Amino acid sequence: MIKLPPLSLYIHIPWCIKKCYYCDFHSYTLKNELPEQKYITHLLNDLQNDIKLISDRKVNSIFIGGGTPSLFNEKTIQYLLYGINERLLLASNAEITIETNPSMVEINRFSKYKQVGINRISIGVQSFNTNKLIKLGRMHSSKESIHALSLVAGLNLHSFNIDLMHGLPNQSLNQAMFDLKKAINLLPPHISWYQLTIEPNTKFGYHKPILPNDKILWQIFSKGNKILRKSGYQQYEISSYAKSGHQSKHNLNYWRFGDYIGIGCGAHGKISFNNGRILRTIKTKHPYKYMNGNYIHQQKEVNQLDRPFEFFMNRFRLLEEIPKQDFINYTGLIENTIRNQLDNAIDQGYITETKLNWQITNKGTLFLNFLLMLFL
Ligand code: SF4
């Protein structure tokens, strides 16, 4: 049997003005007019179909991601949120996030998003060095980011986030620290500070830029981590730092092996059932096919053998203690099924154990792939 975990809703909007050189997210360069209204109608139909999987469960967070969702104007977002409210039971304190880029058109929508029910804005800043932004293929300038952040800070939203990268092409320790300090000075309650990785099938994948060497990368991480902590941010996940009370509810639910409905092109979902089933869903990727009403690409049961790996792959990203009861509740398995793997992980210094909890160690975080392999 499974105890049902908290439930979230992810909405994917797959268009961007232009593809950034490092990006392997599921997004398309916008070639024609944005089909805002048509796409929202299909999102709501897609949601309607998924409702039968969750009966009357309450949704605790909504994340509108992409792509660039802020290409959609506030009226469309309002229509979407209204349609969701009509179909779902939404917690009164639900966190509702939209991802945005800091270009002028999108910045002007921020206060209107708040008026229609968005209470958290995530801004893709990536760097405050305009030359570096150009090298990444970003469409905005440092000046626009600063303007966007001062504007969002004045909106009195529940929270907001800055996405900031480090380890950029030819980036020095000083340049990385300049970016980080600049971000901190703008007082965001949440910073996602993550290292650039080169992914296949991206422009950088085909034409590799010169990245800082391992020594500089390590200096950037360790110095940046100290600065963030000293500035009152708690690192709660590998790349996520938050002021007290500002951790992302939505992301925490993913990493705690919670459930989520995923609607929109290529969106992933995970739904648990009282009878012990866990279902993973993937929606149709291509907008043309999706907007013809073919929403489901794949639905797959998670079998019992795969559950420990799936559970820990998410949970070990978080630096918090892992209640053993969560493993039992959300996988439907007993601790003994993974006793050998746990003993091995403890022997190698990757985790520690008490009667009620497991805790990943610094070594476990550094050698996360080795740790996870034990549960494969
Ligand atoms: S704006 Fe975001 S989703 Fe769009 S191409 Fe750039 S990184 Fe990818």
Q: What is the position in ligand 1's atom list of the atom closest to the CA of 27? A: 3
Over residues 169-215, the pLDDT tens digits come to 999 999 999 999 999 999 999 999 999 999 999 999 999 999 999 99
Is the overall model pTM greater than 0.85, yes or no?
yes
List CB contacts of 24: < 8 A, sequence separation 6 or more.
199, 200, 201, 202, 205
Fold identical between 7-253 and 306-376? no
Nearest of 244, 245, 291, 242 to residue 265 by alpha carbon: 291
Which residue's C-alpha comes closest to atom 2 of ligand 1? 67
Q: How much distance in Å is there from the Cα of 26 to the middle of ligand 1? A: 9
pLDDT of 107: 81
Are the beta carbons of 270 and 313 closer than 8 angstroms? no
CB of 61 closer than 6 angstroms to any ligand 1 atom: no
Length of the chain: 376
Query: 306-376 has which fold?
Result: Arc Repressor Mutant, subunit A (1.10.10)
Q: Could you give the percent of the chain with pLDDT greater than 90?
A: 97
CB of 19 closer than 6 angstroms to any ligand 1 atom: yes
List CB contacts of 114: < 8 A, sequence separation 6 or more.
155, 157
pLDDT at 50 over 90: yes
Q: Where are the domains of the chain?
A: 7-253, 306-376
Over residues 235-253, the pLDDT tens digits come to 999 999 999 999 999 999 9
Q: How much distance in Å is there from the Cα of 29 to the middle of ligand 1? A: 9
Q: Could you give the percent of the chain with pLDDT greater than 70?
A: 100
CATH top class, domain 7-253: alpha beta
Query: Could you give the CA distance from residue 59 to residue 45 in angstroms, rounded to a whole number?
Result: 17
Over residues 249-289, the pLDDT tens digits come to 999 999 999 999 999 999 999 999 999 999 999 999 999 99
